[in-house]
Structure 1
Amino acid sequence: MNVLAIDSSNLVMSVAVTTERKVLAELTTNSRKNHSERLMPAIAQMIEAAGLEAADIDRIAVAEGPGSYTGLRIGATIAKMLAWTLKKDLVGVSSLEVAAQNGRGFAGYIAPFFDARRGQVFTGLYEAKDGEIVSVAPDQLVMMDDWLPELRNLAEPVLFLSNDLDKWGELLSTQAYAELGDITRNVPRAAELARIGAKKEPVSDIHHFLPAYLRLAEAEAKWLAKQGR
């Protein structure tokens, strides 16, 4: 199975083309540049680098969130368009589950997170079992000050993986149970997204697939507040 994986859910943009046994092509960037301008050219480049045509792709896996509202919308829209046009399977995978893959082999819990501003983070809790990463607590939007006491009660150390450790690393380093990911483990990879996506059931209705925002866009929240809702 040839899988095209697309992750534009956060600052990192990653695209990969894989088979069951090989990563044919992968591109990952970690800079503040416009995903809307760069994602489609990156997809075309990776398909060409893999020696394939678009029609050769069997499945499209997209990071479905949580993360940046704009980044999620861009990734989901492009993935849906390609899946519909090419008549291919579409699979959504948690962005946090993808990030947690870099903790495979860690003896303890894995807490990937993305900064969500105002003291909040998108996070979940995972652990490695039989060579796979499994969810222990659901993905959620939570205040970091509320999240840390919950993790403190666990019996195992916790590995924090995040591209936002520059903001949260100082606080996390004061937690006796915490271990912080290094620079290579803090960047999610589309090849991992493809590996997970190859095993999941595809969505039943491409048109109704939506990202997992976990919160309203700021404009929507302000509009609802004005309506008294």
Structure 2
Amino acid sequence: MRILGIDTSSKNFSLGLFKDGRAYSYNLETGAKLSGLILEAITETVNSTGCKIGEIDYFACGLGPGSFTGIRIGVSVIKALSWSLRKPSFGFSSLDVIARNMAFSDGYIAVVTDAKRGLVYHGLYRIKDHSCLRVGKLKLANIDSILSGIKHKCIFTGDAISFYKEKILNSRKCSALADKDMWYPKGHNIINLCLERVKKPFKEDLNPIYLYPENCQVKRVNVS
């Protein structure tokens, strides 16, 4: 079984490749250069393992929330590969992927990522015996509202820490802050989620998760 999964919801481009029982992980900070790098990175990574893109059995993508533009680029690429090669595809919340970075711990994990406009994307997770389960729905709110809604001591991870570190620490809801390299999706965790998904029936779903109201999302404008 061979799986290719990507996440483009943040400033980091994450790619995971599973081949012959081995997972390969590729993580690169791209910023605004993503569109010019993604296809090249996919091709080079796949080729470096001795695999061909046409040999991939499943495709997967992080669906956000996060960068509107980044999510659309990633979803479009995976949809195109899946459709052209007639292979199944599926998606995951990017916050679920980030939470998996902390699967070595135990207890509650609060993922908080920057949503701009003074807001935060948030997901709450419970880690037990290396199993990561989301508790409740994903949220978009200001950091004060997020913190007031958390009922347990949590390990916090996600890039919103860089903006709200003091508030998080002073909230008494924080047992620890994750290291910065744990704030973003990782390629190997995309693969881990994929391996769990393919073991049971699934519905192909690559609908982006924005959380913002539709009238706040970036839209393409046709100019005649």
Alpha-carbon separation, structure 1, partners of 2:218 and 2:100 = 32
Alpha-carbon separation, structure 2, partners of 1:6 and 1:75 = 7
CA apart distance, 1:122: 0.9
Counterpart mapping for 1:15-164 below 5 A:
15-19=15-19, 21-23=21-23, 25-151=24-150, 153-154=151-152, 157-164=153-160
3-state SS in 2 of match to 1:195: helix
Alpha-carbon separation, structure 2, partners of 1:76 and 1:165 = 27
72-81 or 1-10: bigger deviation: 1-10
Q: TM-score, normalised by structure 1?
A: 0.86
Alpha-carbon separation, structure 2, partners of 1:36 and 1:220 = 16
Q: CA, structure 1 residues 145+12, in 2 after alignment: closer, same or farther (shift >3 Å)?
A: same
Structure 1 residues without counterparts, runs of 5 or longer: 222-229
Alpha-carbon separation, structure 1, partners of 2:114 and 2:217 = 19
Alpha-carbon deviations, 1:32-89, whole Å to 9, x = none? 2321111111110111112101111110110011111101100000000000011111
Number of residue pairs matched by the alignment? 215
Counterpart mapping for 1:214-225 below 5 A:
214-215=211-212, 216=214, 218=216
Structure 2 residues without counterparts, runs of 5 or longer: 220-224
RMSD: 2.1
Counterpart mapping for 1:192-207 below 5 A:
192-200=189-197, 201-204=201-204
CA apart distance, 1:129: 2.4
CA apart distance, 1:106: 2.3
Amino acid in structure 1 at the alignment position of 2:157: L
Contact 1:4 1:61 in 2 (8 A): yes
Contact 1:89 1:202 in 2 (8 A): no
* Counterpart for residue 167 of structure 2: 171
Q: CA, structure 1 residues 142+80, in 2 after alignment: closer, same or farther (shift >3 Å)?
A: same
3-state SS in 2 of match to 1:184: helix
Taking only the aligned residue pairs, the percentage that are identical comes to 28
Alpha-carbon separation, structure 2, partners of 1:113 and 1:58 = 33
Contact 1:5 1:16 in 2 (8 A): yes
Contact 2:16 2:26 in 1 (8 A): yes
3-state SS in 2 of match to 1:5: strand
Contact 2:10 2:184 in 1 (8 A): no
Q: TM-score, normalised by structure 2?
A: 0.88
CA apart distance, 1:103: 1.3
CA apart distance, 1:111: 1.0
* Counterpart for residue 222 of structure 2: none
3-state SS in 2 of match to 1:117: coil
Q: CA, structure 1 residues 70+28, in 2 after alignment: closer, same or farther (shift >3 Å)?
A: same
Alpha-carbon separation, structure 2, partners of 1:20 and 1:140 = 37
Alpha-carbon deviations, 1:96-151, whole Å to 9, x = none? 00000111132321111211122211111101123211111211212211110111
Alpha-carbon separation, structure 1, partners of 2:178 and 2:12 = 16
75-84 or 125-134: bigger deviation: 125-134
